Amino acid sequence: MATPERAALSVLTPHGDIDASTIEPLSAQMSAAAQAGASVILDAAAITFGDSTFLNLLLSTHRQTDLRIAAVPDGIGRLLSLTGADTVLRLFHTVEQARVATPPPPEDRTTAI
């Protein structure tokens, strides 16, 4: 029997550049998943670029739900590292590692930022 955390899990796989001109579809998907109470796995492997709007989306989603970011490419990893977001967001090497991770307590999402 699946646990509630495992049952409510949304895996999103965006690709290409994520910036102010392209963020709306991903933003809508992440918002819908968060509003539905699902944990969100962002498979970042195919993201080639992310700007401040992308970073803002990650942090906003992190505050709303259990966000797990998997397969972070080097460029996105640099963005997260330079801004210190890598110390707040939950990063995983693979989607499978993110899938089996235990959700953090809700208070960890709101006080860390």
Percent of the chain with pLDDT over 90: 81
pLDDT at 99 over 80: yes
Domain 4-107 classification at class level: alpha beta
Structural domain spans, the chain: 4-107
Q: How much is the average pLDDT of 62-75? A: 97
Q: Which residues of 30-49 are buried (b: 16+ CB within 10 A; e: fewer)?
A: bbebbeeebbbbbbbeebee
The predicted-structure confidence for 24-56, as pLDDT tens digits, reads as follows 999 999 999 999 998 999 999 999 999 999 999
Q: How much is the average pLDDT of 81-102? A: 97
pTM over 0.95: no
